[in-house]
Amino acid sequence: MIKIVADTTCSLPVSLMQKMQIDFVPQIVNFNHHSFRDDFELSTEEFLRKLRASEQLPGTAAPPPAMYQPIFERILKNGDTALVIAPSSKVSGTYRSALIASQEFQSDQIHIIDTKTIGCNLGTLVQCASKWANQGLPIDELLEKVKDLASRDQTYFLVPTLEYLHKGGRIGGATKLIGSILQIIPILTLRDGQVEPYDKVRSLKQAIRAMVELNVSMSENNPEAYLTIGQCDSQSLVDQISEPLKLRLGLSEIPVFTAPPAIIVHVGPGLVVTSGFSKS
């Protein structure tokens, strides 16, 4: 059997991963010399309360290799194969931690994929991999399908400020926008696994319209679009984007997930992310 291993940057609720029997590790959030796991010790709501009360921006750390080792040990002991669906190595050290942990076992039954994405699309990859594994796909075919879907990542997001991305060093090519941020609203994307500018507009209304058009174009006549929305403390903005999307695409619902603390540390509250995959 192939066992999927995820982490909390996939934005899937812990309860859902437990229900799907997906192994996962947390990210670590550091507040004033205190460290918290962002699976059971720190919810997004608790994180926001701490963030607003703190004079210093918190930091994050990837799960150490030691968190992966007992998972790998149990999977291998049961005669199963481990498939780690990891966030982009350009924005997280999670892939490297999993790789280091795997080297302790020197087994060809541990596979680790750098998906070059994060958030809701990572969650979709985790869910798809779990579904395909349960359907009995062999590991070679499963790896090929996950990598193919990951290569078609289409992630677009709006943030109220680039301050968090800038200070956290995750901004990539979007750093060029810092000087003119007061005059524009940037639409950001993930390109080759890191944050880059996609477009810049003059008003929030234009940004919303652009986000809608991007996702309509991606999703029309595309059964593998898997459109989702990620958010943090931004329900009004989510509604302004999701309602016209549902109308245009004839959808009754678009799954909406709350971003975990380890992502919010680097983008700040007010985040809205649309995630999906282009046609093959």
**pLDDT (tens digit per residue) in 90-140:** 999 999 999 999 999 999 999 999 999 999 999 999 999 999 999 999 999
Mean local confidence (pLDDT), 63-79: 98
Rounded to a whole number of angstroms, the distance between the first and last alpha carbons of the chain is 28
Q: Enumerate the domain spans of the chain.
A: 2-27+62-150, 153-277
Residue 33: closest CA among 64, 56, 7, 52: 56
Average pLDDT, the chain: 91
pLDDT-based confidence at residue 269 (cuts at 50, 70, 90) = confident
pLDDT-based confidence at residue 52 (cuts at 50, 70, 90) = confident
**CATH T-level topology, domain 2-27+62-150:** Rossmann fold (3.40.50)
**CATH T-level topology, domain 153-277:** Hypothetical Protein Tm841; Chain: A;domain 3 (3.30.1180)
pLDDT reading at 180 higher than 50:
no
Q: Is 264 left (phi over 0), alpha (psi -120 to 50) or beta?
A: alpha
Mean local confidence (pLDDT), 49-64: 88
Residue 159: what pLDDT?
82
CA 108 to chain CA mean position, Å: 27
User: What span, in angstroms and rounded, lies between the C-alpha atoms of 61 and 94?
Assistant: 9
Residue 172: what pLDDT?
52
Question: Are β-strands 228-231 and 256-258 bridged in parallel, bridged antiparallel, or unpaired?
Answer: parallel
Identify residue 179 by its one-letter amino acid code. Answer: G
* CA angle (151, 194, 213) in 5-degree steps: 65
pLDDT reading at 178 higher than 50:
no
Mean local confidence (pLDDT), 40-58: 88
Percentage, residues of the chain above pLDDT 90 = 77
Mean local confidence (pLDDT), 70-78: 98
User: What span, in angstroms and rounded, lies between the C-alpha atoms of 72 and 75?
Assistant: 5
Q: Where are the alpha helices (DSSP H) in the chain?
A: 14-19, 44-53, 65-77, 94-103, 120-134, 139-150, 163-168, 204-219, 235-249, 261-267
Residue that wins the pLDDT comparison between 213 and 164: 213
pLDDT reading at 252 higher than 90:
yes
DSSP of 153-179: EEEEEE-S-SHHHHHHT--GGGGGGGG
